[in-house]
Amino acid sequence: MNTTEQTISKNSIWLTATPAPFAKTLPFYLTEAGMFETSENYAVSRGGGGGFLLFYTIGKSGVLEQNGRIVDLPENHAAILDCSMPHYYHADKDGWDFIWFYINGNGVRAMFDIIYPDGIFAVDMRDDMELRSVFPRISVMIRDNDMKSFAEMSLVLHSLLNAVLLAALDSERDARAADFYNDISNVTAYIKNCYKYPITLDDMVKYVHMSKYHFIRIFKRAMGVTPYQYLTSYRINEAKTLLRTTDMSVGEIAEECGFLDTSNFIAHFKKHTGQKPTRYRRDFS
């Protein structure tokens, strides 16, 4: 670690790992981890590199800085830094006690982008003890350093990142008020009831109490897709059921599920499933 200044107590633990080629093919793997007790002078500055740093404060507090954003990290809070970009983190005035994991793998970027679509923030983890309990398990896996431990570690790291994601989504729902998410539920209910008919974005906005732009943003954060993508996926799912359970023609199914015409249905179906409706029906008949 390149540091501007470090003051780490003798009680601190610093683990290093050298992943085998097999480990680097997994979605998640670890190269370093630690449990640090630091003084108020502890500080680290990096110009960029790679991987992601997951922090969890177990006592006192720290501060993370990246892309002009300053994030306080009090006790029982977690945050992740994208180490490919310049970043700076340091102890607060009384020092900082924290757990950290330096995570790599082809699955980390996707998880990071889902957790932080608009920039990093501290995630309240008081209701989840996963971060506290995982460090001893990681220590054993690093020591064993075999294929089984690499595979187990990938699963544990995925669980860890997923815990942060779920906590982040819960905190966002609380911050944005339940009314917004009630609006989203109203829209999805409307889609389920009326997917057979033409539906526009303006039709959906009638069921919410926010601007069109804000609705699209909140909907995508809550559902993982845009309103239009959700509508199309719902229609495709209904079409799959009809293809498997009825003798209706492809054209009839296209009309029944709200598509503009048969060719439009076939194009969307192939885009979502990788095969044409007739092939799908053959495979499942």
Give residue-wise pLDDT tens across range 25-40: 999 999 999 999 999 9
Look up residue 153 and give its amino acid: M
Q: Tokens representing 94?
A: 């009384």
* Alpha-helical segments (H) within 47-146: 108-115, 130-144
Q: Which of 132, 152, 175 is the last residue of a domain?
A: 175
| Per-residue pLDDT band at 181 (split at 50, 70, 90) | confident
Looking at residue 5, its pLDDT comes to: 43
Q: Cα–Cα distance between 169 and 71 in angstroms, integer?
A: 18
Q: Cα–Cα distance between 97 and 70 in angstroms, integer?
A: 19
* Alpha-helical segments (H) within 195-226: 201-205, 212-223
Residues 43 and 159 in one domain: yes
Residue 5 DSSP one-character state = B
Residues 83 and 162 in one domain: yes
Residue 220 lies in a domain: yes
Q: Cα–Cα distance between 85 and 109 in angstroms, integer?
A: 13
Looking at residue 234, its pLDDT comes to: 95
Residues 184 and 198 in one domain: yes
Query: 174 burial class (0-12, 13-18, 19+ CB within 10 angstroms)?
Result: exposed
Residue 197 lies in a domain: yes
Q: Cα–Cα distance between 34 and 8 in angstroms, integer?
A: 11
Dihedral sign for Cα atoms in the order 65, 43, 114, 22:
positive
Q: Cα–Cα distance between 196 and 238 in angstroms, integer?
A: 10
**Structural domain harbouring 223:** 179-284
Using the CB atoms, write b or e for 4-35: b if 16+ within 10 Å. Answer: eeeeeeeeeeebebebeeebeebebbbbbbbb
Residues 146 and 199 in one domain: no
Query: What's the mean pLDDT in 47-58?
Result: 92
Asked if 239 and 247 touch (Cβ cutoff 8 Å), the reply is no
Asked if 212 and 201 touch (Cβ cutoff 8 Å), the reply is yes
Residue 7 lies in a domain: no
Residues 164 and 187 in one domain: no
Res 78 pLDDT > 80: yes
